[in-house]
Amino acid sequence: MAGLLHRIEELKQAADSLDSEGGLRDSFMRLYCVMATILFGASTTVPPGDGDLSSLLRDIRSGLDDNIAFAQTCIATIEPLERLQGAQEVRR
């Protein structure tokens, strides 16, 4: 139970970081702007301090990897509960 409560708090933090300023949502928007500029010569630009395409892709990849790792810990937390449910169904 304590592990599940811990995951709930971590989930809130993960959701906040996805949509926060500088989070994955912003990174994908910057990527969109960079790609529009590269592909279409669009006037949308990314500030120079935001880095180049390679660093932007590395940042996005890192953020996604972090979220995948978090999701895997959530799966590990609920797996025993799934086994418990299966054991209860067998007893019926």
Q: pLDDT per position in the chain (92 positions), as tens?
A: 788 888 888 888 888 888 888 888 888 888 888 888 888 876 656 566 666 788 889 999 999 999 999 999 999 988 888 888 777 776 76
> Range of 44's domain?
2-91
Sign of CA dihedral 63, 22, 54, 35: positive
Q: Distances in Å between the alpha carbon of 8 and those of 64, 65, 85?
A: 19, 19, 20
Structure-token pair, residue 9: 């708090």
User: Rounded to an integer, what distance in angstroms lies between the CA atom of residue 68 and that of residue 49?
Assistant: 27
The number of distinct structural domains making up the chain is: 1
